[in-house]
Structures are given as structure tokens and as C-alpha cells.
Amino acid sequence: MSQVLLEATGVTKTFDGVRALRGVSFELRAGEVHALVGENGAGKSTLIRIITGAETADTGTLSIAGRGVERIDPATARSLGIAAIYQHPVLFPGLTVAENIALPLEGAAVLRRIDWKAWRARAKQLLDQIGAAIDPDRLVDSLSMPERQLVEIAKAIGANGRILIMDEPTASLTAREIDTLLRVIARLRDGGAGIIYISHKLEEIFAIADRITVLRDGESVATRQRADIDAAGLVRLMVGRDLAQVFPKRTIPVGDVALQLRAVANGRRGVKPITLEVRRGEILGIGGLVGSGRTELAETIFGLTPCDAGDILVDGTPVTISSPVDAMRARIAYVPEDRQRHGVIGEMPVAANTTLNNLAAVSTGGVIDPSAERRAARAHVDRLRIRTPSVDVAVGTLSGGNQQKVALARWLSIDPRVLILDEPTQGIDIGAKAEIHEIMERLAERGVAIIMISSELPELLAMADRVAVMRRGALAGILSREEATPHAVMELALGDAA
């Protein structure tokens, strides 16, 4: 058997009390493509970040080419021949291809003269080696996404990369470009490199991988030879979790249709025509992989990037939503995914954050009444159990869960008919998560129609009355509560390959 390039044993990693990895073992041999699969949040990225030195493992051992490595930082990772290629290439757009390939390989000496001629020749040779016909003098800015990916690969090999990590490298590529990339990968493998290949696309995995390791909830649950497993078996391994521990939502009678989408599309954001409806009191879950167009759909409904086709109806009446102002007028609320950047304004006090969307409620003729504002804010703090020393502290100082509640409070102030929540409990602790679920149920009971985007299957299955699954910008299917098993959702999310 060929040489073991990399071996990780019993790796654990905890972030803020959340265990991202709990004893992962993984092995990569020379001349193999080893695929790493798992749901969003299974721990793939964390493992990669530990191997490349971006994070340090809490416990566990890592050995490279048989030698134990105490600590990896990005510089040692590079000197050990580890190179990572991400979904979005990390290149300098203002420099040429040759410069991009040369710069990381140049030594640390500041005053050493750079032999550009030699570097250009080397860049050319590296690009030839992977079969990429790219002029080394072109600016990276002018390259297409797949071309940039090829430059990244050339850069990695140039750095004597023996261990190549590819994290969703085909996410932005077309079918033909994917073929080219897979051929390059096969060529690198035959040259003796070890490749860790991460992808959600099972067809690619089965096309290129020699072995497949499945991560689930931070554990490595299985490693199989490609020949020993089929797609269905792989999906079973990926989702096979104990669902008994999550509590399903209370049964709430649903009312009339609150929001209806008729073939709503957004070409610019890659949202294909989507038809669905949400009723009052209903929680519609939206599942799908990261990048499947879920957030884009939400931003289309909310008017951040207005739809370019189809009709949106609120309470049966067609509405034109070309900006968030229109959405708010239709009483549609949107709590975005990235609360640090978009959900709350960290520098502003809790009170100002909660009233920002409906200042009219606490002011007369445009003049804010400070005591009314504080009263309104305190009411939100009490009702949503926001843990804050006072309503005057900056929101940025609160914990993630409490920031999310402030973001929710802001939108509840407009008394929404339709509430869109994008990853409402991402990165917040279990207690606050349960509280936010409880708030959602109370809102549904009051007749609010809720759309909940979530990458977490247990959350989706426990909270949603129906689950709409998106795949590549289109609606892959809508599952009733009874139909929505982890397997069914993953099957729709992954497509025909599963």
C-alpha cells in the first residue's frame, strides 16, 4: 500500500462550548482522492482548518508523512506541502497570474531581487502541468472563476503541495469546467499527490473519489472504499442521527394563505421561478444546501434584490415589492442570517435597535419620545426575555442569542404578517435556541406566517409544518410534516445522484 501522507487521530475542537469535532480520525495516502462528506455543520470545515493550521485542535494527534506534528500554523502547513483550494479563490486580483503564483513562494528576504523572467517560465510550466492554457501575464481580475481555480491549483503545486485540500471547488463551475477540473485532479493523483476532496455533489464524489469518509455531528462515522458503497448508503450515513432528542412544535391550526409566490424568479441572483404559499400560523421550513438559493429567495421576497418575474401576493392581494420599504408596508419582516453585520446595529443601544423599524410608534411628528422609546424597548426585553443590563447598552456587547432576540424584536415592532427568518439559531447556544423556537411558536399562534431557512435538519424537521427544499436556485420539492424525513430532505437537496 502507498505511503500515508497525513493521519489525524482523535481530533476534538470546541468553540464557545459547542463541540465542533468530537474525536475525528482521518487518513490520507499518496495517490488517492479521499472525499470528505457530511451535512452543513458536520465538522468538515473545522477539520480542514485544523489541517491547514488555521485552527488548533484541542486534543488528538496529527502526523504528516509519518512524523508527528505538535502544532501546525499556516507557515508550517505550507512547508509540509499542505495546500488548500477554497470555493472562492484567494488571489490578488490586481496582479498577474505569474505574480500570484510567485509571491507566496518568494522567500522572506525583503530586498532580494525578484527574477521575474524565471518566475514567468515557472508559472507557465506549472500551468502546463495541469493542462491549463492561461497566459501568465494576464491579470487575475480578467480571469473567469474556473481559471482562477486553476491558478490556485498551479500555486499549490508550485509550493510543492503533496497534500491538496479542495473545499467545494466546483460550486461555481459549469458542467464542462467541472470535467476539466476533475481531469486535473486525476492527473495530480496519478502524480502521487494526496487530495482531500470536499463536495456536496455526490455525482462528483463517485466520479473522482477513491475513498469516502463521512462526518456527522463532529464525528467520523465511517470510511469506505468507493466500490463498497452506493449513494443511498452514503446519504444514510450522513443523516442517520437520533432524532428523538428534539421536541416537535406544538400543533397550531393554520389559517388563510398569507403569502403566495407565483413563479417568482430573480435571474440576477440565480433564483429560478418558484411557486409556493405560506398560511397564517404556519411555519414553512426552507431546506437545502448552503448556496442553493435560499437566502437569495428571501432577499427577493423582501425586496433587497427585487424579483424580475412572477407575482407576490400578500393576503390574496398582489403587491409590488421593489425595496425593503415596500416589503415593510406589506408587513413582511426579514431577520437576516448574518446578525452581526445586518441584523442589529452593534454600536447602537438596545432601545434604538428595537425601535428602528417603527420609530413612528414612539414618536410624534418625527420627534422621538425618549420615554416612550424606552418603554417600548423594555416591553420587548421582557416579552422576549432578552438578557441585557439595561436598554441603553450597545447591542454589540450582548451574547449572540440575545442579539438575535433584539433583531427579532425590531421586526416584531411592525406587527408582521409574514416573518422570514434566515438561520435564526445559527451559532447560538441551546438555551437561547429553545427560547427562539418558543417565540416562533407564539408568533405562529397569533397568526403570523413564518418562513424559516435552516441548514440544521433537526431544527427544520422539528419546527416546520412543511419543508420546501431548494436545489441550485429552484424548488426541488415541498414535503409535508409526515414526508419530511432526514433522508427525504437530503435526497431533494442533493438531487438525482442520491
* Between 185 and 332, CB nearer to other proteins: 332
Q: How far is the CB of 490 from other proteins (least distance, A)?
A: 21
Contact status: 15 vs other proteins (CB under 8 A): yes
Judged by CB under 8 A, the stretch of 79-87, 239-247, 317-325, 483-491 that binds other proteins is: 317-325
Enumerate the β-bridge partners of residue 346.
none
Is the C-alpha dihedral spanning 435, 436, 440, 443 positive or negative? positive
* Between 18 and 309, CB nearer to other proteins: 18
- What cell numbers appear for 314 in the block? 400578500
Q: Which residue of 114, 263, 325, 379 would you call a contact of other proteins, by CB under 8 A? A: 325
- What cell numbers appear for 428 in the block? 447560538
Contact status: 400 vs other proteins (CB under 8 A): yes
Q: How far is the CB of 342 from other proteins (least distance, A)?
A: 5
Is the C-alpha dihedral spanning 387, 388, 391, 393 positive or negative? negative
Q: In this structure, are strands 257-266 and 82-85 parallel, antiparallel, or unpaired?
A: unpaired
Cβ distance 287 to 457 under 8 Å?
yes
Cβ distance 497 to 476 under 8 Å?
no
* Between 11 and 344, CB nearer to other proteins: 344
Q: Which residue of 183, 250, 268, 341 would you call a contact of other proteins, by CB under 8 A? A: 341
Instruction: Give the 3-state secondary structure of residue 131.
Output: coil
Contact status: 23 vs other proteins (CB under 8 A): no
Number of CB atoms found within 10 A of residue 1's CB: 5
* Between 102 and 421, CB nearer to other proteins: 421
Q: How far is the CB of 206 from other proteins (least distance, A)?
A: 26
Contact status: 479 vs other proteins (CB under 8 A): no
Contact status: 343 vs other proteins (CB under 8 A): yes
Backbone angles phi, psi at 422, to 5 degrees: -105, 115
* Between 178 and 395, CB nearer to other proteins: 395
* Between 100 and 295, CB nearer to other proteins: 295
- DSSP class of residue 426? T
Contact status: 270 vs other proteins (CB under 8 A): no
Contact status: 323 vs other proteins (CB under 8 A): yes
Q: Which residue of 410, 433, 437, 466 would you call a contact of other proteins, by CB under 8 A? A: 410
Letter for the amino acid at 334? Y
Terminal Cα distance for the chain, rounded: 31
Q: How far is the CB of 341 from other proteins (least distance, A)?
A: 6
Alpha helices in 340-467 (DSSP H): 350-355, 370-383, 400-412, 430-445, 457-463
Please give the Cα distance from 362 to 368 (Å, whole number): 6
Contact status: 45 vs other proteins (CB under 8 A): yes
Contact status: 228 vs other proteins (CB under 8 A): no
Judged by CB under 8 A, the stretch of 79-87, 144-152, 353-361, 379-387 that binds other proteins is: 353-361
Contact status: 342 vs other proteins (CB under 8 A): yes
Distances (CA, A) of 294 to 23, 172, 436: 32, 16, 20
Closest to 208 (Cα-Cα) out of 239, 224, 185, 229: 185
Q: In this structure, are strands 418-422 and 211-216 parallel, antiparallel, or unpaired?
A: unpaired
Q: Which residues contact 72 (CB under 8 A, 6 or more apart)?
A: 50, 51, 52, 53, 56, 62, 80
Instruction: Give the 3-state secondary structure of residue 484.
Output: coil
Site string for other proteins, 359-388 (x = CB under 8 A): xx--x--xxx-x------------------
* Between 6 and 398, CB nearer to other proteins: 398
* Between 225 and 323, CB nearer to other proteins: 323
Q: How far is the CB of 243 from other proteins (least distance, A)?
A: 24
* Between 44 and 466, CB nearer to other proteins: 44
- What cell numbers appear for 221 in the block? 462515522
Please give the Cα distance from 448 to 278 (Å, whole number): 10
* Between 181 and 408, CB nearer to other proteins: 408
Contact status: 107 vs other proteins (CB under 8 A): no
* Between 253 and 370, CB nearer to other proteins: 370
Task: For the chain, give the longest Cα–Cα distance.
Answer: 79
Q: How far is the CB of 325 from other proteins (least distance, A)?
A: 5
Site residues (vs other proteins, CB under 8 A): 15-16, 18, 20, 45-46, 49, 55, 302, 304, 323-325, 327-328, 334, 336, 338, 340-348, 352, 356-357, 359-360, 363, 366-368, 370, 400, 410, 426-427
